[in-house]
Amino acid sequence: MTYFSIRKRLLLGIFLSMILILGGMGLAAHFVTEHESEEIFSARLATSARVLEVLAAKQLEHATINNPIIIELPDELEHQHSSTEEISGHPYESKISFQIWHSNGKLLAKSATAPDKPLGPMTEGFGKNLIGDDLWQVFKLKSGDVWVMVAEMDSVRGEMAGDLGVAIMTPLIIGSLILLIVINLIAYRSLRPLQALANVIAAREPQSIKPIKLSKTPSELKPVIDELNHLLDRVQKAFKREQQFIDAAAHEIRTPIAALQLHIENAVNAKNDTDRDQSLSEALNGLRRTTRLTEQLLTLSRVSGATDQEKQQVLSLDGICKEIVKNTKPLITQRGQTIELHVHDDCLINGEQHKIERVIQNLIDNASQYGSAHGLISVSLDKVCDTIRLVVSNDGDIIPQSEKIKVFDPYYRILGSKSFGSGLGLAIVKEIVQQHKGSIRIEDKSAGNGVQVIIEFKNAI
């Protein structure tokens, strides 16, 4: 059996989901930031070029062919590596360069950080150019015979995009960690009823089958507790049935065993063969009754405890009745009784075959045992709407109205009855019928004569 922690699984799932979601958000933020920074920086290059175009003309009056004008930066900016702004300017100025070229290829002016060779080819617009180990983003503008080139190191843009990404993701990551801690606390608190349920179960005595109760029960846990209580209720009923079975078996078997012992003792002490044969015959009859009682007790125990359940299937009830009547007829005839079968073809029900066979067999045995010596036992099957009706009847004494319900109780016998039955036959029948979602009742066969047991099953078609 595999065990796992719901809380750990929940936290792991949330953690992985957050990584995927935040990772996706980070990548999206990075690409958006990079795109926006490209636009901002490119616009700045273009603006710088246009400013140079306007202002540089005045300075170019003093330029010579051999001595281009060089725009120097303050010394502190040349060696500044931090991103802190200074009064004299900004360190990033050292990463921005410009050149002014004459169309004849002569350099007229440049910034101190700009290389001596052109920042790019003499074509207007944006472009990229690798100079030495540095990649430059370049914007070129032509004004008459003058080319203005403004460039910026590509690393500046990457650095700024990275800084923006860190600035965006840091609060998200910190917030996610805090959220994970909060979710952990919420999950721990929310799952405490599970631990409380485990503690309640662990603290119970082994023999305790009382319902489980919690002071506070979440709605998600209520079905579990309800099913546990239903299970305990079924266990309690099973224990009760078992105890009743043991008590009843001990009580019911004690009497025939005592009688059997008495008949054997009489046979041992008999003074002649006639008395001995009579005592042995009585002992044999008592042994048969004890065997029959034991079989009925075991059958009731198995049926009531549902220990012999099998998968239900479509059964031909008329076929089962024909087979049982055929097998029972010799014994019924030997008793001087008559048995008849009246069936409607294709009487199909859903059920367990061996249990349905037990129902019919018990009803026929019961009708024969309590019927008149030379009476008629009738078994009939009919279709009534969506119902299959089974009726087993006999001739003889009727059952008083007050007794018609009680005869289904285990070990119950009608007062004044001359039969030596166990009182279990109809109890077994009723239990099986109820398991098959059927109904059972007892009525008089006719006014003042006989008994008929009526069972109704749902038609399988």
Q: What is the pLDDT of residues 387-406, one digit of tens each?
A: 999 999 999 888 888 888 88
Longest dimension (CA), the chain: 163
Interhelix angle 317-334/353-370, nearest 10 degrees: 30
Based on the domain organization, do 19 and 158 belong to the same domain?
yes
SS3 readout for 315-340: EEHHHHHHHHHHHHHHHHHHCCCEEE
Phi-psi region of 177 (alpha: psi -120 to 50; beta: other; left: phi over 0): alpha
Instruction: Look at residue 98 and tell me if it is in a domain.
Output: yes
Instruction: Look at residue 142 and tell me if it is in a domain.
Output: yes
Mean pLDDT of 205-230: 79
More confident residue, 258 or 452: 452
Q: In what order do the strands lie in the sheet with 338-342?
A: 338-342, 376-384, 387-394, 449-458, 439-446
Of 4-8, 132-136, 427-431, 437-441, the range with the highest mean pLDDT is 437-441
Mean pLDDT of 62-89: 52
Based on the domain organization, do 17 and 154 belong to the same domain?
yes
- 419-458 in b/e form (b: 16+ CB < 10 A) is eebbbbbbbbbbbbbebbebebebeebeeeebbbbebbbe
Q: What is the pLDDT of residue 77?
A: 46
Based on the domain organization, do 50 and 138 belong to the same domain?
yes
Q: What is the pLDDT of residue 92?
A: 59
Give pTM, 2 decimals: 0.49
Mean pLDDT of 187-205: 79
Is the pLDDT at 173 greater than 90? The verdict is no
Instruction: Look at residue 178 and tell me if it is in a domain.
Output: no
Helix, strand or coil, per DSSP, at residue 69: strand
| 18 band by pLDDT with thresholds 50, 70 and 90 | confident
Based on the domain organization, do 300 and 350 belong to the same domain?
no
Instruction: Look at residue 336 and tell me if it is in a domain.
Output: yes
Average pLDDT, the chain: 78
Based on the domain organization, do 288 and 341 belong to the same domain?
no
Calpha distance 424→324 (Å, rounded): 20
Considering only CA atoms, which of 92, 2, 1, 112 is closest in space to residue 41? 92
Considering only CA atoms, which of 176, 200, 180, 199 is closest in space to residue 188? 180
Based on the domain organization, do 332 and 415 belong to the same domain?
yes
> How many Å separate Cα 244 from the centre of its chain?
38
Instruction: Look at residue 421 and tell me if it is in a domain.
Output: yes
More confident residue, 57 or 174: 174
Instruction: Look at residue 177 and tell me if it is in a domain.
Output: no
Contact 168, 139 (CB under 8 A): no
Q: Of 276, 308, 340, which residue is a domain's last?
A: 308
Mean pLDDT of 440-456: 91
Q: What is the pLDDT of residue 86?
A: 46
Based on the domain organization, do 243 and 359 belong to the same domain?
no
Contact 446, 457 (CB under 8 A): no
Please report, for the domain that includes residue 137, its CATH number.
3.30.450
Of 7-21, 59-73, 271-285, 288-302, the range with the highest mean pLDDT is 271-285
More confident residue, 368 or 30: 368
Is the pLDDT at 85 greater than 50? The verdict is no
- Structure tokens of 210? 């009382």
Contact 63, 69 (CB under 8 A): yes
Based on the domain organization, do 17 and 132 belong to the same domain?
yes
Based on the domain organization, do 122 and 218 belong to the same domain?
no
Contact 457, 438 (CB under 8 A): yes
Instruction: Look at residue 251 and tell me if it is in a domain.
Output: yes
On the 0-12 / 13-18 / 19+ scale of CB atoms within 10 A, 329 is middle
Contact 39, 175 (CB under 8 A): no
Based on the domain organization, do 369 and 229 belong to the same domain?
no
What pLDDT digit, counting tens, does each position of 98-136 carry? Answer: 888 888 888 888 877 788 888 888 888 888 888 888 888
Among 214-218, 407-411, 423-427, which is the least confidently predicted range?
Answer: 214-218
Instruction: Look at residue 192 and tell me if it is in a domain.
Output: no
Domain that holds residue 145: 6-82+89-167
Q: Of 287, 308, 329, which residue is a domain's last?
A: 308
Is the pLDDT at 433 greater than 80? The verdict is yes
Number of domains in the chain: 3
Q: Of 308, 329, 359, which residue is a domain's last?
A: 308
Is the pLDDT at 325 greater than 70? The verdict is yes
Q: What is the pLDDT of residue 329?
A: 92
Is the pLDDT at 385 greater than 80? The verdict is yes
Among 184-193, 197-206, 320-329, which is the least confidently predicted range?
Answer: 184-193
Please report, for the domain that includes residue 343, its CATH number.
3.30.565.10
Helix, strand or coil, per DSSP, at residue 448: coil
Please report, for the domain that includes residue 268, its CATH number.
1.10.287
Q: What is the pLDDT of residue 58?
A: 47
Calpha distance 15→28 (Å, rounded): 20
Based on the domain organization, do 22 and 103 belong to the same domain?
yes
Based on the domain organization, do 98 and 111 belong to the same domain?
yes
More confident residue, 72 or 237: 237
